[in-house]
Amino acid sequence: MAATSLTSLSFVFAILLIMHAKAKASTCDDCFTQSRASYYPNSDEKGTDSGRCGYGSFGATINDGLVSAVSDLYRDGVGCGACYEVRCSNSAYCSDKGVTVVVTDHGSGDRTDFIMSSRAFRRMAQTTDTESSLLSLGVVDIEYRRYPNKNITIKIDENSNYPHYFAFVIYYQQGKKDITAVQLCETQNFVCKVLDRSQGSVWTTNSPPSGALQIRMLFSDDEDESWVVPVNNIPEEWKAGETYDTGVQVN
């Protein structure tokens, strides 16, 4: 009787472990989502200078042109600047490594979440010899996940001019949360002001603070929100068009 009870308990315990593992897998941070991807061909094989995320000409060269338009992931511009690891599933042409893209635009296709630059699309191929075969497919099945690969970075808008106007774009955004608010603070007296999201990942103010500046970013999802303060400040002698590394990655 005792042996039978122990066997029964062991069986129940094993079932519970399996259920726990499945529950954990369904909510894991490293899980991939299944979808489809296509690409938009253009002359330089990179991104676009008219994307809806507001990057302008920078949108064609950001991340070495490894960029993508997205459909539902765009979410009225909140998804702009996010990094995704994307890999296709055709074993004849696709590599296991895939490609990491930055969202710079909004677009939709034939049940696709991603419309990549052709450069990014080709990067999913196993070798340079299989790139043309992959491109000829046009649309491929993929899996993707949010991916941290570089520090969150900002680029000061070329039209920024103290004290009349200050704007910047954010890219290399990681983690599962979205940046839903941004504050700009004076580093000497810590007076902060909330910036306006004018388009996609563009944050602006018509009365920028003086001196060295600190950015505070609010990361939010359906369950939680938290402020992230970058390691690096924007220097007092900031220049329009310059790019600054925040020193921060978000898992």
Coil/strand/helix, residue 150: coil
The rounded distance, in Å, linking the Cα atoms of 169 and 81 is: 8
Contact of 34 with 143, CB cutoff 8 Å: yes
* pLDDT, averaged across the chain: 88
The Cβ-side half-sphere exposure at 103, using a 13 Å CA radius, reads 32
Residue 221 zone, left/alpha/beta (φ > 0; ψ -120 to 50; rest): beta
Question: Regarding the domain with residue range 33-146, which homologous superfamily does it belong to in the CATH classification?
Answer: RlpA-like domain (2.40.40.10)
Q: Which residues pair with 245 in a beta bridge?
A: 153
Q: What is the pLDDT of residues 131-167, one digit of tens each?
A: 999 999 999 999 999 987 789 999 999 999 999 999 9
Provide CATH 2.60.40.760 ranges for the chain.
152-248
Comparison of pLDDT for 29 and 88, the residue scoring more: 88
pLDDT at 28: 57
Model pLDDT, residue 22: 44
Contacts for 98 with CB less than 8 Å, ≥ 6 apart: 85, 86, 87, 88, 123, 124
CA distance 54 to 8: 61
Round to the nearest angstrom and report the end-to-end CA distance of the chain: 51
Q: Where in the chain is the domain with CATH 2.40.40.10?
A: 33-146
More confident of the two residues 116 and 43: 116
Contact 173, 83 (CB under 8 A): yes
Longest dimension (CA), the chain: 84
Tell me the CATH number for domain 152-248. 2.60.40.760
24 has a pLDDT exceeding 70: no
Instruction: List the single range of 4-8, 37-41, 95-99, 103-107 with lowest mean pLDDT.
Output: 4-8
Res. 14: pLDDT tops 80: no
